[in-house]
Amino acid sequence: MIDLKALVRREIGFRVISEAKLRLTRAGPTLALRRRETFEVNRARAILKRPPTALVATIIPTYKRHQLLTRAVESALRQSVANHAVIVIDDGGGLPRLPDDPRLTTVSLSRNCGIVGVVRNVGIRVSESRFVAFLDDDNVWTPNHLDVSLAAHANGADLTYTALQRVLPNGNPVGDALSWPFHRQRLLNEQSIDVSTVVVKRRRGVLFSRVPRRRGDVPREDWELVFRLSRTMRTEHVPVVTVRYLVSPDSYFTPWKADSNR
């Protein structure tokens, strides 16, 4: 007897089915978050007066991880690509003292949101650039990350992702580097792409899912972004390790708890 459920999952992909369920069951909160995102974008634009503008805009979302954030920002500012804007979006937790650099822009949301896709979207929407890159506040880049990514874009790619090395808090590597050529079918069920490795050509639709996700939910918003965009964008892997991914209790998913005034 044919197992229709297993057949559908094999052909369509478990993550696609799971994403559809999340969108359906959390449609109301998602709509509210979209309105909240637009409010924060308009508020930030009014404060900034002029949008951060560069060839590449790097979006760094953060919430109360001051020491790690400083490391991430410094690695972004050390990029060999000079035409680069770094936008830190603070999810209402406050910011540490960051480098005094004209390429760096900081935006603090009016209150904690807790949905990292929404936080990243604020950074995307308040900036202007040809390309958008993403760096989580607990990861760091090697100085050539943008350089090797943009070289692939110059050869026709629309979305690129580099190789990633996992490291412990003491700096020791964990296992081999994560590096695999892009194959959309494998992305359905077997592989994932960390957003800190991604550089994408800016266009309409380069925004993260606003669906509120809980601990253990599959798929994550970075997988959803890459899978959706790769449907129409030429997606390529750059087999160069440019991201050091911190493996710690907070690195896989940090539940950004709302502040008391939420």
Three-state DSSP class for residue 31: helix
Residue 74 belongs to domain with CATH number: 3.90.550.10
pLDDT of residue 192: 86
Judge whether 262 lies within some domain: no
Q: Does 203 map to a domain?
A: yes
Instruction: Tell me, yes or no, whether 210 lies in a domain.
Output: yes
In the DSSP assignment, the letter for residue 258 is P
- For 73, the token pair is 């920002």
For residue 215, being part of any structural domain is answered with yes
Distance CA 220, CA 68 (A): 22
Would you state the pLDDT for residue 14? 79
SS3 210: coil
For residue 54, what are the β-bridge partners? 129
Q: How would you list the strands of the sheet with 198-201, edge to edge?
A: 104-108, 84-90, 53-62, 128-134, 198-201, 159-167, 235-246, 139-141
- Number of structural domains in the chain: 1
- Determine, yes or no, domain membership for 33: yes
> What number of other Cβ atoms are within 10 A of residue 100's Cβ?
6
pLDDT digits (tens, 9 = 90+) for 107-140: 999 999 999 999 999 999 999 999 999 999 999 9
Instruction: Determine, yes or no, domain membership for 82.
Output: yes
Contacts of 10 (CB under 8 A, 6+ apart): none
Tell whether 258 is covered by a domain.
no
- Per the CB < 8 A criterion, the answer to whether 168 and 95 are in contact is no
Residues of the chain whose pLDDT is less than 70? 1-12, 249-262
**Distance in angstroms (rounded) separating the CA atoms of residues 243 and 125:** 24
In the structure encoding, which two tokens stand for residue 62, read together? 């953060």
pLDDT of residue 137: 96
- CA separation, residue 87 to residues 60, 90, 147 (Å): 6, 10, 18
pLDDT value of residue 257:
44
Helices marked H in the chain = 4-12, 14-25, 27-48, 66-77, 116-126, 145-154, 184-189, 221-229
The verdict on residue 16 lying in a domain is yes
Structural domain that includes position 147: 4-246
pTM: 0.90
